Amino acid sequence: MTDASALPGQPRGGVLSGPATVRAVNVLAPNPSVMTLDGTNTWIVAEPDSELAVVIDPGPLDEAHLRNVVETAEKTGRRIALTLLTHGHPDHAEGAVRFAELTGTKVRALDPVLRLGDEGLGAGDVITTGGLELRVVPTPGHTADSLCFHLPADGAVLTGDTILGRGTTVVAHPDGRLGDYLDSLRRLRSLSVDDGVHTVLPGHGPVLEDAQGAVEFYLAHRANRLAQVETAVENGYRTSAEVVAHVYADVDRSLWPAAELSVRAQLDYLREHGLI
């Protein structure tokens, strides 16, 4: 879910579909929009020599797309054995129940409401289906239940909506919180600096081949927007709608409703820190 179109200085992305790393293949859902960019990226992840695959974010409730994901895995000789969710927004999770029916899989997520089966997901969990290693990284901020999945064998991280392949993401107030989101970005920066992560496999948009650059771009963008919002309030713009019209004047108006969610989160952050 994006709140802006492509911005100057953002790291360039790679392919939108097909193999993205040794272990990850993207199947693009047919739900393009100003909020979902080219559509939702559904990721099939598996060890090269394994007959089992994991699917991350089956996407919207679109029967043709869900069946396409299954068929894409089967063409490589694999059976889908597990479904994971980065978060509960419908463009990522709405199709999960139907997908579980098609594949006979359990659905694991942070939010218990989204789970099918007894096992959830949390900090420190490691997925080992078919010999694959996926490490669960809590990244609240876009939503309270947002997760990323670290794929160490490919030096990659699957980011859902926490980092997009193009533009910037919404801090979806009131569920999303800016302080949490900044902490999550710093956590991802540590992965890129300390754990060899160089590739971002996002929930929307193209693959990013410079993970550290992407995180630094996001942190700088958030700091800039926060300073703009603070200045706007100091200059008499009080409501979130007034701040959006002033700060996001150069952004397509169709994105203003999403931008207002982020502005509300920014205003909360500034109040909590005694800055306004």
172-190 as b/e: b if 16+ CB within 10 A: bbebbbbebbbebbebbbe
pLDDT value at residue 4: 43
Mean pLDDT across the stretch 240-251? 94
pLDDT value at residue 14: 58
Whether residue 241 is predicted with pLDDT greater than 70 in this model: the reply is yes
Q: State percent of the chain over pLDDT 70.
A: 93
Whether residue 164 is predicted with pLDDT greater than 50 in this model: the reply is yes
| Chain segment 200-212, per-residue pLDDT in tens | 999 999 999 999 9
Give the confidence band of 7 by pLDDT, cuts at 50, 70, 90.
Answer: very low
Can you give the pTM of this predicted structure?
0.93
Whether residue 8 is predicted with pLDDT greater than 50 in this model: the reply is no
Give the confidence band of 19 by pLDDT, cuts at 50, 70, 90.
Answer: confident
Q: State percent of the chain over pLDDT 90.
A: 89
pLDDT value at residue 20: 82
Domains of the chain in start order, with CATH, are: 18-211 (3.60.15.10)
| Chain segment 85-118, per-residue pLDDT in tens | 999 999 999 999 999 999 999 999 999 999 999 8
Whole-number average pLDDT of the chain? 93
pLDDT value at residue 9: 42
Mean pLDDT across the stretch 22-49? 96
Whether residue 5 is predicted with pLDDT greater than 70 in this model: the reply is no
Mean pLDDT across the stretch 209-231? 96
